[in-house]
Structure 1
């Protein structure tokens, strides 16, 4: 059964080494009224440097005036202390609780979810910049679905952001991009036992886990959430890793593996390459025109889509080589699994394996008692 809903709402990872935990800061949540009642903002954080800290603190001060905010910070002790000083007093700043798996972001998300009293959780990466309106749209959609997938766009457009916008437009045309922020209902994620911390494509794993537990997914193409562009070095470092994510989507992986052979076949006749590039631009333009995308994606971003396709045609083969060597290097470990299929997750839940959360004897009651 398909649990995906396409809706209209109006109708970077940074890694560092962690040290022993510092005392946590508990705060009194802001008085929330109206459409953001029963919602919380959770930001998993793990930085190796503090570039952009002042801007992030300013942003979180604004968000915490709308709804409660929890920052789950796995940064090294010195950076954790600096974050404590910089973040506003209205933000709850805590260490991640232990969670099985090498992907520290999952531990951060699950810590925030378990600590929350609110049912509707907005999870966001450190480079995501919500407005009150986008938060209200996501929280409203969580009344109709158990997990909400909005869409990202870049607030500024240096060349690397334009390049990645080409990818986003193609994804929008083909069903929806994968953003750096999701909305999820706390109860269903805890009932499923959380989600696997040994996968690379953690957002997809979270969505599939919720759907395997019987939840509905809302792909909100018109909930357009701003994002800070990555640095050039961070962007370059993500190329093969993002291609590796497609091991969690076999049909897409096979299609991308065919790109390089097709280009080699077409190179003898440049007209074929030109026709292919025009076709890619046409698909990207469809994505740009869907659900208000023209408001945030300039027309010129369409022209970057063929460059992204060329990049992916090579990086996906590099990802195959990385997998043959045991997986992607991540935070001192190797992650071989990009994500589990919905069939595998449904089988796990049918067999009564509710994942690491409930197997360790934790759950909503314990999470609330720790506050």
Structure 2
């Protein structure tokens, strides 16, 4: 990172951290994000927008945001385009503590500070998103979040990471679909500690209904990376065919109870409406179908569609990552000892 870039990053006395927003938009988001990015630039020391948009859209973004954020193209393109943007931002960041966020995430100062404080003692932080506003399809997806809160935590559109740990691991793979899981697993493979603060709630703007529907199979495909969960989801439809209505009512009741437990954990009732738990059976039914479609996508089409291509792997196994990261870190230590 150049001296000029560091001077730009540290021009204001905001919270000591870097905020990285990877984006690749077919149409300009200049007006939609201008107010939020301007506020972020006054709140945190450095805001980096890594923009993989087409040239005309990139230029429009540069005109709108270039005076108060670092607006740069990705240094490398990856099959999962977000990963190339994230790693470019992490490499360019002036700070050790980095917050990565999608363009639909909306932080406030208090939440940024909590994230940065957690990064003092953890290498990666996975907070909790909640949708605002809440159209019907966001309520549907909220049920997924509530169930996740009782099964290891949600997978939000934002993470915090210590720059040195991720870079020492060689970054994370851009060839996988479930990129957040890949990043977290990579940091853990580098012996970094993960924090999952269920009580740290970050607002997220919901997608439109068409985009939400287009993600149903893709999200099911993510579960190839978590074999036990995927097997359980695949088992739902055959079990219902065999056992019929009694099992359907039992599963629906169990889903509602589990979602309600998730809603009540760590202050969730303030952010999740009581009706959100009632959507859980619908989400379970969705996953019972889309899990089998994901099987077909992998076996018949070589992976799930992602933008203009297909991705075969959901995420690298933890065992493989430990081996890979250990080799990278050992090579790095040897090079440092040799003065290379």
Taking structure 2 as the reference length, the TM-score comes to 0.92
Matched, 1:109 2:90: no
How many Å separate the matches in 1 of 2:295 and 2:313? 12
1:189 aligns with 2:166: yes
Q: Which residue of 2 aligns with 1:148?
A: 125
- Post-superposition shift, 1:354? 5.6
- Name the SS for the 1:220 alignment partner: coil
Q: Does 1:78 align with 2:56?
A: yes
| Cα drift, residue 315 of structure 1 | 0.3
1:272, CA displacement in angstroms?
Answer: 3.2
- Contact 2:144–2:283 at 8 Å: present in 1 too? yes
The question of whether the paired residues in 1 share the 8 Å contact of 2:260 and 2:277 is answered with yes
Deviation at 1:84, TM superposition (A): 1.2
Q: Give unpaired runs (5+ residues) of structure 2.
A: 336-340
What displacement does 1:174 show?
1.4
Shift of 1:329: 2.0
Q: Deviations over 1:338-359 (max 9, x none)?
A: 0011111011123x2469xx8x
State the alpha-carbon separation in 2 of the partners of residues 165 and 28 from structure 1.
36
Matches within 5 A, 1:202-221: 202-221=179-198
Residue-by-residue CA offset, 1:95-154 (whole Å, 9 max, x unaligned): 00015x311100000000001120000000010111111111110000111000001000
Shift of 1:82: 1.1
**Residue 122 and residue 28 in structure 1: after superposition, are their counterparts in 2 closer, same or farther (change >3 A)?**
closer
1:46 aligns with 2:21: no
- Picking from 295, 310, 320, the partner of 2:285 is 310
For residues 20-99 of structure 1, what are the structure 2 equivalents within 5 Å? 27-33=8-14, 36-37=15-16, 39-50=17-28, 53-67=30-44, 68-87=46-65, 89-99=67-77
Structure-to-structure mapping, 1:109-258, within 5 angstroms: 109-258=86-235
Distance 2:21 2:11 in 1: 17
Q: Secondary structure at the match of 1:97?
A: coil
Of residues 311, 315, 332, the one that matches 1:335 is 311
Structure 1 residue 89: Cα displacement: 1.3
TM-superposed CA distance for 1:239, in Å, is 0.5
CA RMSD of aligned residues (A): 2.0
1:319 maps to which residue? 294
Distance in structure 2 (CA, Å) of the matches to 1:42 and 1:64: 11
- The answer (yes or no) to whether the contact 2:9–2:94 under 8 Å persists in 1 is no
Task: Summarize the Cα distance change of 1:28–1:116 in structure 2 as closer, same or farther, 3 Å threshold.
Answer: closer
- What residue number does 1:364 align with? none
Flag structure 1 segments of 5+ consecutive residues without an equivalent: 1-23, 362-371
Q: CA deviation at 1:275?
A: 2.5
Aligned twin of 2:338: none
Quick one: distance in 2 between partners of 1:347 and 1:74? Answer: 31
The answer to whether the 8 A contact 1:70-1:91 is kept is yes
Change in 2 beyond 3 A, CA 1:333/1:283: same
Residue 280 (structure 1) aligns with: 255
* Counterpart check, 1:262 vs 2:239: yes
Instruction: Give distance in 2, aligned partners of 1:331 and 1:130.
Output: 27
Match of 1:3 in 2: none
Structure in which a larger fraction of residues adopt helix: 2
Residue 88 of structure 1: how far off its partner (Å): 5.6
Contact 2:9 2:47 in 1 (8 A): no
Offset at residue 56 of structure 1 (A): 1.3
How far, CA to CA, are the matches of 1:272 and 1:252 in structure 2?
19
Of structures 1 and 2, the one with the larger relative CO (CA 8 A, separation 6+) is: 1
Aligned equivalents of 1:45, 1:58: Cα separation in 2: 16
* Paired residue total: 327
Work out whether residues 29 and 90 of structure 1, in 8 Å CA contact, stay in contact via their aligned partners in 2. no
Contact 1:128 / 1:225 at 8 angstroms: preserved in 2? Answer: yes
Runs of 4+ in 1 over 6 A off after TM superposition: none
Structure 2 contact 186–325 (Cα < 8 Å) conserved: no
Q: Secondary structure at the match of 2:149?
A: helix
